A and B are shown apart, each in its own frame.
Chain A
Amino acid sequence: MQEEILTATNVTKRYANHTALKSVTLGVPKQSIYGLLGPNGAGKTTFIRIVNQILAMDEGTITWNGEKLSLDHIFRIGYLPEERGLYKKMKVGEQALYLSQLKGLSRSEANQRLKRWFERFDIMSWWNRKVEELSKGMQQKVQFVVTVIHEPELLIFDEPFSGFDPINVNILKEEILRLRGQGATIIFSTHNMASVEELCDHIALLNRSEKILEGRMADIKKTFRTNSYVIQYDGVKGSLRSILHPSYEVLEEVMEENLSTARIRLPQGTGPNDLIAHLLPHVTIHGFSELLPTMNEIFISKVNEYSALPR
């Protein structure tokens, strides 16, 4: 098993009227990009706030590299909350210095690091301007810089891409991958399945305060695969149905510029080679790949499955 930077065991959080987390157990492997997924109100933000020690849990334990999570670890976490902003009337540089010092950096250290980051992001000329004079995109850059300024081992992003323009989303993604490359672990909480697909290697799915799925994304996709394949071939649309045995289910067939694409679900006990063997005598194959479920499909099917259960 991969070493875990953060391990939560039976974490429970109750509010007056409802339980926000019900005995949640999960482990975040070191240097992973860990997607924390789930519909609204599933408990993602509550979990993140507990890790950041903004909220206290009622039951359970969280360990950091094997030791009990304590206030000292706060300086090793960088947190970009979903509800984020800056003091509008404060100057950018001064504010960045303040937030960096709150994260435990000395003033001179913070100053040096901020100058480096500001030059990287090309916002040095805004150092002495007030935040309210900045464009939204630039504010987001500043916000990102102060999240990572203390070079945390664990970065937590809650809905990081909401409100970012596409250019900034790209910069953010590059930076996230770069930081991971330097050894950081990243927890991602989001609804945006496309970015999960693109970035995450581990995921956990929360629904109604409970964890319903966790693991490496590749493994999860494998367990959810349906023995379906995509095939591109040279031939008339619809010809596959006449060629294949009825136990092969043709899900969809489209034709574009003389090239047809079909999605086929294979009967149990058969493999891709069987399909190819069947088709070879009849059509020219241009492409062939396994059809893995998207995270979106897994998400929806899993959540629906649990929602259908009696509470």
Chain B
Amino acid sequence: MNKIKLIIQREYLSRVKKRSFVVMTILGPILMAAMFVIPVYVSTRQGDVKKIAILDETGIFRDKFTDTKTILFTNATGPIATLKEQLSDSGYYAVLHIPKTEAVIPSSAIIYSNKQASVTVTGAIKNTMQKEVERLKLEASGVDPAVIDSAKTKIQLASFKIDEEGNEEKSYTEVSMVIGYVGGFLIYIFIFMYGSQVMRGVIEEKSNRIVEVILSSVKPFQLMMGKIVGIAMVGLTQFILWILLTAALVTTFTAMTGASLSEAGSAQMVMTENSRLVPSDAIPDEDEPGSDELQLVMEALHSINYGTILGFFLFFFIGGYLLYGALFAAIGAAVDNEADTQQFMLPITIPLILSIILIPYIINNPEGPLVFWASIIPITSPVAMMARIPFGVPYLDLILSVALLTLGFLLTTWIAGRIYRTGILMYGKKVTYRDLWKWVSYRG
């Protein structure tokens, strides 16, 4: 076994020392951190304050508009025609014209601007006017203003899952969706990235003609497993470095700007929950913007059992990688160069792509029959089950999936080992599926 260790060590070190590994390790977290940081940066960016002139002919909305971090409202006078003419020179972003109408309480307004008025601006204006009009109408029908204020309610829908023993558990669908999607997608990417590294490694050994030199010291199976395991460790190393570096980057950024990640999270959450697509800080008259959502998100984030999810992630990552890694190795052994791999790649890529296509379906309906089978059958289960796990999966399904994946990778490793040991010494022969079958079924 000492020799397998040597092979693993070589495979690992030769890849980790490569410049491309270092570049990817540094670049990956920057990209990932950018995903979190850019929205925060954009939403907290100062300096871009929009001044808006209000020409309120009704007088109803005077002083009702409150300034926000990015929007300043000013009352203007004069005929609207002059304001419109002077718009470009006046330094105002837009002019809001609320014309006098027949109705006592107006319900329409016009906004003039040089550029398309942003959603933030129109959203803030509509929101303010709507609230005021609602209040006026209620008052007009004789409702006490105190009652109106006390009637302002925000609904929070908490959902609980009840299992068979009657235990209740609070569930957070949105967070589960995000985790399921990210988890499934990561496994897909890792299987493809590192699986094809296994294949290229085998082809390299074959085309360098070093393979027979090595096979005079080790068994073909040892060489194959050493390569697969070595590259798996490269993948895990990269994954762990990514997490650490991403965390470091986000922390550094947060410390520098004072913005917190959870604020960004809540801002995004509001955007997705709110059909009006208005960022939370554009709703001016809520006392503490986003505080409820923030609380909800934090609660949800704390509710996730990270230990369990990470544990299953590692299992499905390693299991899926071993299952496909062995097949990738077999393909590498069967061909002479990378161009010939095409014909054998299809049976590997189709189930993988199928499982990635299934992810949105799974996170919308984690209990469907198709989802059940996809998360049980080993060729799709690593991705499909990972997407399903955050929603809670019955133990029986989990056990079945884990057992079948274990059997699956043992089987593919066995098959791959047989293809590998024959193919690796075969040069200049155009291999067909029939040949592969012959190699697998050949006794001895």
Check A257 for interface membership: any CB of B closer than 8 A.
no
- Min CB distance B377 to A, Å, is 32
User: What are 14 A-B residue pairs whose CB atoms fall within 8 Å in the complex?
Assistant: A49-B425, A52-B216, A79-B213, A80-B213, A83-B209, A83-B427, A84-B212, A85-B209, A86-B213, A87-B14, A99-B214, A101-B6, A143-B213, A146-B213
How long is the Cα–Cα vector from A279 to B6 in the complex, in angstroms? 72
State which of B204, B212, B217, B438 has its C-beta within 8 Å of the C-beta of A74: B217
Can you name the residue of chain A whose Cβ is closest to the Cβ of B441?
A16
Can you name the residue of chain A whose Cβ is closest to the Cβ of B209?
A85
- A165 CB contacts on chain B under 8 angstroms: none
Over the window 82-120 of chain A, the binary record of Cβ atoms lying under 8 Å from chain B Cβ atoms (1 yes, 0 no) is 011111111000000011011110000000000000000
- A86 CB contacts on chain B under 8 angstroms: 208, 210, 213
How long is the Cα–Cα vector from A90 to B214 in the complex, in angstroms? 15
Check B59 for interface membership: any CB of A closer than 8 A.
no
State which of B208, B217, B220 has its C-beta within 8 Å of the C-beta of A85: B208
State which of A84, A90, A103 has its C-beta within 8 Å of the C-beta of B217: A103
Given A54-B215, A98-B6, also A84-B14 (CB < 8 A): no
Contact B3 A81 (CB under 8 A): no
Contact B212 A102 (CB under 8 A): no
How long is the Cα–Cα vector from A88 to B207 in the complex, in angstroms? 10
Check B84 for interface membership: any CB of A closer than 8 A.
no
Check A56 for interface membership: any CB of B closer than 8 A.
yes
- Min CB distance A49 to B, Å, is 8
Interface of A is mostly: loop
- A58 CB contacts on chain B under 8 angstroms: 444
- Min CB distance A50 to B, Å, is 12
Interface size class of A (residues with CB under 8 A): 20 to 34
Contact A79 B216 (CB under 8 A): yes
How long is the Cα–Cα vector from A56 to B418 in the complex, in angstroms? 13
Which has the most chain B C-beta neighbours within 10 Å: A83, A84, A89?
A83
Q: Which residues of chain A from 8 to 53 have a CB within 8 Å of any chain B CB? A: 16, 49, 52
Given A88-B208, A102-B3, also A81-B216 (CB < 8 A): yes
Interface size class of B (residues with CB under 8 A): 20 to 34
- Min CB distance A258 to B, Å, is 54
State which of B204, B211, B217 has its C-beta within 8 Å of the C-beta of A102: B217
Check B271 for interface membership: any CB of A closer than 8 A.
no
Check A295 for interface membership: any CB of B closer than 8 A.
no
- A101 CB contacts on chain B under 8 angstroms: 6
How long is the Cα–Cα vector from A89 to B6 in the complex, in angstroms? 18
Check B135 for interface membership: any CB of A closer than 8 A.
no
- Min CB distance A80 to B, Å, is 8
Check A77 for interface membership: any CB of B closer than 8 A.
yes
Given A81-B216, A89-B14, A90-B14, also A54-B210 (CB < 8 A): no
Check B395 for interface membership: any CB of A closer than 8 A.
no
- A143 CB contacts on chain B under 8 angstroms: 213
Q: Which residues of chain A from 147 to 164 have a CB within 8 Å of any chain B CB? A: none
- B244 CB contacts on chain A under 8 angstroms: none
How long is the Cα–Cα vector from A90 to B11 in the complex, in angstroms? 11
- Min CB distance A93 to B, Å, is 14
- A87 CB contacts on chain B under 8 angstroms: 14, 204-205, 208, 210
Query: Given A54-B212, A103-B217, 17 other A-B contacts at CB below 8 A?
Result: A54-B216, A58-B444, A74-B216, A79-B212, A79-B213, A80-B213, A81-B213, A81-B216, A85-B209, A85-B210, A85-B213, A87-B204, A87-B210, A101-B6, A102-B3, A102-B7, A146-B213
